[in-house]
Amino acid sequence: MAEEAKRMAAYAAVDNHVQNNQAVGVGSGSTMAYAVDRLAERVRLEKLNVVCVPTSFQARQLILKHGLNLSDLDRHPELDVAIDGADEVDSDLTLIKGGGGCLTQEKIVAGCAKRFIVVADFGKDSVTLGQRWKKGVPVEVIPMAYVPISRTIATRFGGEANLRMAVGKAGPVVTDNGNFILDWTFERAQNWREVNVAIKMIPGVVETGLFVDMAEKVYFGLESGGVTSRVPQVN
Contact yes or no for 204/144 (Cβ under 8 A): yes
Contact by Cβ (8 Å): 148, 205: no
Q: Could you give all domains of the chain from N- to C-terminal order, each with its CATH number?
A: 2-124+212-222 (3.40.50.1360), 137-209 (3.30.70.260)
CA distance 227 to 25: 22
* Residue 92 burial (CB count, 10 A): 18
In the prediction, which pLDDT does 53 show?
A: 98
How, if at all, do strands 95-96 and 88-89 pair?
antiparallel
Q: What is the pLDDT of residues 152-175, one digit of tens each?
A: 999 999 999 999 999 988 999 999
Q: What pLDDT, on the 0 to 100 scale, is given for residue 234?
A: 72
Residue 235: is its pLDDT beyond 70? no
Tens digit of each residue's pLDDT (9 = 90 or more) over 15-70: 999 999 999 999 999 999 999 999 999 999 999 999 999 999 999 999 999 999 99
Mean pLDDT of the region 172-188: 96
* Catalytic site positions: 106
pTM of the model: 0.96
Given a cut of 90, is residue 189 above it in pLDDT?
A: no
pLDDT attached to residue 225:
85
Nearest Cα neighbor of 121 from 232, 12, 233 is 12
